[in-house]
Amino acid sequence: MENSNKAIQKKRMMSYFIEATNEIIENEGLEGLTIRKVADKAGYNSATLYNYFENLKHLIFFSSIRHLSDYAKDLPGYLDKAKNPIDACLKVWECFAKHSYNHPKVYQLIFFGGFSSDTVNNSIKTYYEIFPEQISEDVKEYMPMLLEDNLYERDYILLKKALQDTDISEEDIRSINEMNILIYRGMMSDMEANYLNLTIDDAVKKTLKYIKKVFKAYDIKTDN
Look at residues 141, 138, 176 and name the one whose alpha carbon lies nearest to residue 156: 176
The pTM of this model reads: 0.80
For 182-199, the pLDDT digits (tens) are: 999 999 988 988 777 889
Q: Contacts by 182-185 with C-beta closer than 8 Å and gap 24+?
A: 183/207, 183/210, 183/211, 183/214, 184/93, 184/97, 184/151, 185/112, 185/151
Which alpha helices (H) appear in the chain, and where do they start and end?
A: 2-28, 35-42, 46-49, 56-64, 66-79, 85-102, 104-112, 117-130, 143-146, 151-162, 170-193, 200-217
Report pLDDT digits (tens) over 49-61.
999 998 998 898 8
> In the structure, what pLDDT confidence band is assigned to residue 39 with cuts at 50, 70 and 90?
very high
DSSP designation for 142: G
Model confidence pLDDT, tens digit, residues 57-83: 889 888 888 887 788 888 888 988 999
Output the DSSP codes for 154-192.
Answer: HHHHHHHHHTTTS---HHHHHHHHHHHHHHHHHHHHHHH
Of residues 46 and 103, more confidence is placed in 46
